[in-house]
Structure 1
Amino acid sequence: MPMTGRCREPNCHAVVVRPLHYCTKHADKEAVYQASRERWTNRTDNSKRYKDYNKRKREYSDIKVEQNKFYQSKQWKSIRDVVRRRDNFLCQYCKAHNRVRTGKIVDHIVPVEFDLNGKTVMDNLAFCCSKCHTRKTKWEQIYYGTGYGNKTKNVIPIKNIKDVPDFQKNEQ
């Protein structure tokens, strides 16, 4: 039995046999649709665009190149899974300020750019939600001087999650 579907024309409920997308009544739109699909499937500039992005944003220094390789490694992926389970998939920054929220990101409490030796230390890792991660990254750029175009500062590293400022005092 052939594969079937509905006509893509709004409010037309005619059955269409694949690979067609429009019924015989709207067959004139099939060629236009196929042409638009071809434009998107034959794009060859995506790899160049991603490569350019990586050079400008991710790999602007040798240290960043090494960091990027580390985050793709099997070692990081296994450490990340252990931290997720250890923290019960809950944001540790929210938990430190009496909130409960599930997380999605394993974060270095002291950034890797500031302390290269702490990238695999389990005590330097915490599971966090995307809101806390974004706000903590902005705070790190100010406090530690990390990030693109910044120079790291000579400050005391904050290793305890409870000492990191509450990013969401004004919310809720």
Structure 2
Amino acid sequence: MASRQKWARSRDEGYRHRYDQVTRNRSEAKTEQYKFYKSKAWAGLRAQVLARDDHIDQYLKLLGIYEVADTVDHIVPIEFEPDQMQNPDNLISCGRHTHLIKTRWEKKYYFDRGGQPKSVEPIREIGKILPILAP
């Protein structure tokens, strides 16, 4: 955390402005997502999912590995199915490393190189996602 804060402080105001306007808010949908993740509704939903899953990484749990979860992940990404943004059945607890691996896989499975959604069937069962996460 300290290194991240040091990095953030080293960036000038112009860089942060460009990041907010170009990367974070690159579309109206992304702006709405960002607002949602800063809302009380998300904080409550996140706490509910972590409690439901006993703060255990549910992907790794299927492998018999018990690690603490500090992230709540959308099983089907909200860019692919925006109407599932607040559905607790589309949310699962996982660790940061697991989330990073899954996010990289999602970008290949759900989206083309230009970031547009592909015509693929959404995968809702975490057991079917598991092979990409196995250590």
TM over 0.5: yes
Is 1:162–2:124 an aligned residue pair? Answer: no
Distance in 2 (alpha carbons) for counterparts of 1:166 and 1:98: 14
Higher relative contact order (CA 8 A, sep 6+): 2
1:72 counterpart letter in structure 2? K
Structure 1 residues without counterparts, runs of 5 or longer = 1-42
Please state how far the C-alpha of 1:154 moved relative to its aligned partner.
1.1
What's the TM-score, normalizing by structure 1? Answer: 0.68
**Quick check: 2:59–2:130 contact (8 Å CA) kept in 1?**
no
Distance in 2 (alpha carbons) for counterparts of 1:94 and 1:60: 33
| Counterpart position of 1:110 | 76
**Residue aligned with 1:103, SS:** coil
What's the TM-score, normalizing by structure 2? Answer: 0.85
**Quick check: 2:70–2:93 contact (8 Å CA) kept in 1?**
yes
| Counterpart position of 2:30 | 64
Q: Deviations over 1:40-95 (max 9, x none)?
A: xxx8x744332211222211111101111111111011000000111011101111
| Counterpart position of 1:53 | 19
Distance in 2 (alpha carbons) for counterparts of 1:167 and 1:46: 38
Greater helix percent: which structure?
2
Is 1:139–2:105 an aligned residue pair? Answer: yes
RMSD over equivalenced CA pairs, Å: 1.9
Misfit runs of 4+, over 6 Å:
none
2:56 counterpart letter in structure 1? L
**Quick check: 1:97–1:166 contact (8 Å CA) kept in 2?**
no
1:84-99 to 2 correspondences below 5 Å = 84-99=50-65
| Counterpart position of 1:124 | 90
**Residue aligned with 2:72, SS:** strand
1:67-82 to 2 correspondences below 5 Å = 67-82=33-48
Distance in 2 (alpha carbons) for counterparts of 1:112 and 1:168: 20
Distance in 2 (alpha carbons) for counterparts of 1:142 and 1:49: 28
**Residue aligned with 2:130, SS:** coil
Provide closer, same or farther for how the CA distance between residues 112 and 85 of structure 1 changes in structure 2, counting only shifts above 3 A: same
**Residue aligned with 1:151, SS:** coil
Identity across matched positions, percent: 36
Q: What is the total number of aligned residue pairs between the two structures?
A: 126
